[in-house]
Structure 1
Amino acid sequence: MTGREKLQQVLDRAVAEVGVPGIVAEVRDANGSWFGTAGVADIESGARRQQGEYLHTGSSGKAFTAATLLALETEGRLSIEDPVNTWLPGVLDVNGYDGNKITIRHLLSNTSGLFATGLAPELSHRYATRSGFVEHRFDAFTTEDLLRLTVSQPPVGAPGERFEYANGGFYLAGAIIEKVTGNGYAEEVERRVIRPLGLAHTYVRPSGDTGYPDPHPRAYSNLFFKDGADPAAITPENWESMMEDPGLPPLDVTECNTAQGWSAGNVVSTTGDVIRFINALASGSLLPPAQHREMWTTVSIEGGYWMPHARYGLGLFEFDKAGLRGVGGSLWGSWFFAVGTPDGEHTIAIHTNTEWKSWDLMFKIIEAEFGITIGA
């Protein structure tokens, strides 16, 4: 069996055994490109998934934020060692945080000591259950809302002490971009990342945008807690046990406002564009050597309730032994990841039109494509 036959087999199993409605994989290497699919883009019509679909990339957008800040550093506009208070005085000086001790580097590496923003009761009460999601799916968030959410719970540790995946750190990073430049976050990402790399099908989703350009798949979610679950009791340790019955039919969540992602992950793109993006970040062709080294100076994820067998850089990750570099993210009805070799010569991008199911699926895809067993 060839490598691509193995990969197609994993895609087929994702649909048949894991419960993914539809999945796509795009590969680029020295031999050219390959594109494979399994399942459907639309459960009702049975329409197949296709190349060139517009997709929500979730927390892959964090790497766009980090790259934009590092581009500003190359111009001498800021340093990633700047304390947050240098640019946003007082914003962090509440609830036990200290904006003089938390730096931009801490924000981008998820080592700021900020709590896991996604577990904030304000968000959990809106979106934790199916009924809550249906009621709040079009809610909008301002930058002020997101910054207030960022510090709504006390710290989980001192700056630099540990890894804790916190969208709030990237909200602060987005606000710093706007403060430094005087321009909107989306405008700066367009200017410093999207246009230089020629990402013609990539954009930061505007607040209030609730749809996607064609072609795009429908998005389906089972990412809800059981009815009656108390969002205030949800922790990184117990959340999986509080999820609803996996046998329930998925909810179509295609039309919704994802403004809460903002600078922590609200980029719409295609598998092809993200391959070009991660190749540039992995190989160092977007940023000068100093900023490239900063982006890939990684920290341990151990104990941070995130992906196993990996280390985190600035908005992206690297597998600790496999040597592959990548970006990824998940939200309602979408799971996206792209990983490749550090030279940018062999890369795969994957999307499912439902959220993350298990790390095992990701690792099986990587093993089929690269012949590398993650965690071995």
Structure 2
Amino acid sequence: MSRTPIRAAFGAAVALALLAGAAPAGAATGSTLRPQLEAITAAGMPGVFAQAADGRHRQSAAAGVADVTTGAPTRPGMRHRVGSITKTFTATVLLQLAGEGRLRLDAPLGRYLPAYAVDGVTVRMLLNHTSGIADYDHVIFATDASLEENRHRTFTPAELAAIGLGQPPTNAPGATWNYSNTNYVLAGMILEKVTGRTVAHEISRRIIRPLGLRETYLPGTGERIHGPHAAAYIPWYDGVLADFADYNMSWAWAAGEIVSTTGDLNTFYRALLTGRLLRPAQLAQMQTTVPWVPGAPEYGGYGLGLYSNALPCGLVWGHDGLVLGHATISWHSPDGRRQVTVAQNMTHYVAPGQPDPIADATFAMLTAQLCGEQPATTRAAVRPHLADTAFRR
């Protein structure tokens, strides 16, 4: 496997593409999960595990290895760094606060964080990535060496926000969609300012404990993943797979810190989409999206910490996450009945513009599990790109 240098830009692991060669609308669900995961490992992913659901029927499966040195297999219930899926949790808490009258989505950023005010930027623009505030990750992960240098480093939210705000803006406030982790660092700071408690406390109190997500937690500055988990691989210069499973995730914080399982994420998104976590007005706000393709909302778009995505059977909802060596995609039908969450233990494995059979096999699995025998309604989608070519020089 060839090594492509990294220029880290830790954003959403999605890329716009036409839906070509994906599973047909009549693909089977349920019992097909294991061979679909084996197709992903056959394409080159060391290990993959997933949980799919169709109403009350749930199936978990895994393929490949969690550790290439020992040959230990992946297991369906392993814990995993889920990266930017954390954004859905953070946004849910802020929308709860809005429903309680403690926060206004269209209030200026400076109302809550005067020291970080940017003219024209509102809380809503942070949550739907239209603020124009630049990301910080390409600064803190500017070189390959910085991946190791930051392994044990603690970043403060104020430090991350200052770095992002110190970069040239990507667009005028509200003008267009540009993914930026700085938005969710600022959102986390607002959460703490309004509640007087930490992000970890509020997410645990409002979401994790009420839903019984026993395998989900925010690690803070703790570097090790508690409980069974896979390695987190990046192909390195000498041809070996470097393991980044042990890492201080303070650099991601409210934008991407959470550790979870495929089962817990399915439980979370079903509760969210069925109205258990948010009032109807707030859920409607969350699902008001900025189109991926300007002027073409039928392809889906980004809402408030939640996105919609066009598949052959219609729009699905969810989010994805990609950090060092761990990638996760969690997609769900609008009613929360059909669900699939998949986790993989290698990232940064393909150069820009090169074929990516791993992503092809992953997308085929997601489409088959979610669409089943429903009729096709569209030919376009936002495809997951698990290698995330934005990381490249």
| Residue of structure 2 equivalent to 1:15 | 41
**Whole-Å separation in 2 of the counterparts to 1:281 and 1:327:** 12
Please list the CA deviations of residues 120-140 of structure 1 after superposition, one character each: whole Å capped at 9, or x if unmatched: x3x133xx31x3322331111
Structure 1 residue 81 corresponds to structure 2 residue 109: no
Contact 2:129 2:177 in 1 (8 A): yes
SS in 1 for 2:87: helix
- Amino acid paired to 2:302: Y
**Whole-Å separation in 1 of the counterparts to 2:300 and 2:347:** 20
Match of 1:268 among 243, 259, 271: 259
| Residue of structure 2 equivalent to 1:114 | 133
| Residue of structure 2 equivalent to 1:365 | 365
Gaps of 5+ in 1: 225-243
Match of 2:338 among 337, 341, 346: 346
**Whole-Å separation in 1 of the counterparts to 2:201 and 2:40:** 37
Structure 1 residue 178 corresponds to structure 2 residue 192: yes
More relative contact order, 1 or 2 (CA 8 Å, 6+ apart): 2
Contact 1:367 1:374 in 2 (8 A): no
Closer, same or farther in 2 for the Cα pair 1:107/1:316, shift >3 Å?
same
Please list the CA deviations of residues 130-174 of structure 1 after superposition, one character each: whole Å capped at 9, or x if unmatched: x33223311110122111122020111111110000000000000
Match of 1:253 among 234, 241, 244: 244
Please list the CA deviations of residues 300-326 of structure 1 after superposition, one character each: whole Å capped at 9, or x if unmatched: 2348xxxx9541111121114621111
- Aligned-pair identity in percent equals 35
Contact 1:221 1:252 in 2 (8 A): yes
**Whole-Å separation in 2 of the counterparts to 1:9 and 1:284:** 34
1:115-264 alignment runs, 5 A limit: 115-119=134-138, 121=139, 123-125=140-142, 128-129=143-144, 131-206=145-220, 208-222=221-235, 248-264=239-255
Closer, same or farther in 2 for the Cα pair 1:182/1:32, shift >3 Å?
same
Give the stretch that moved more between structures: 23-32 or 173-182: 23-32
Aligned-pair RMSD on alpha carbons?
2.2
Closer, same or farther in 2 for the Cα pair 1:356/1:71, shift >3 Å?
farther
TM-score by length of 1: 0.84
SS in 2 for 1:90: helix
**Whole-Å separation in 2 of the counterparts to 1:350 and 1:266:** 18
SS in 2 for 1:111: coil
**Whole-Å separation in 2 of the counterparts to 1:315 and 1:187:** 19
Count of residue pairs brought into register by the alignment: 337
- Amino acid paired to 1:15: T
**Whole-Å separation in 2 of the counterparts to 1:49 and 1:374:** 33
Please list the CA deviations of residues 207-257 of structure 1 after superposition, one character each: whole Å capped at 9, or x if unmatched: x210011211111113x7xxxxxxxxxxxxxxxxxxx7xx93321111111
Q: Residue 75 of structure 1: CA displacement?
A: 1.2
Please list the CA deviations of residues 15-60 of structure 1 after superposition, one character each: whole Å capped at 9, or x if unmatched: 122x211000111223521111110011111111113211111000
**Whole-Å separation in 1 of the counterparts to 2:168 and 2:198:** 29
| Residue of structure 2 equivalent to 1:337 | 329
**Whole-Å separation in 2 of the counterparts to 1:351 and 1:309:** 24
**Whole-Å separation in 2 of the counterparts to 1:203 and 1:5:** 30
TM-score by length of 2: 0.81
**Whole-Å separation in 1 of the counterparts to 2:379 and 2:324:** 26
Closer, same or farther in 2 for the Cα pair 1:356/1:189, shift >3 Å?
farther
| Residue of structure 1 equivalent to 2:6 | none
| Residue of structure 1 equivalent to 2:14 | none
**Whole-Å separation in 1 of the counterparts to 2:172 and 2:310:** 24
| Residue of structure 2 equivalent to 1:281 | 272
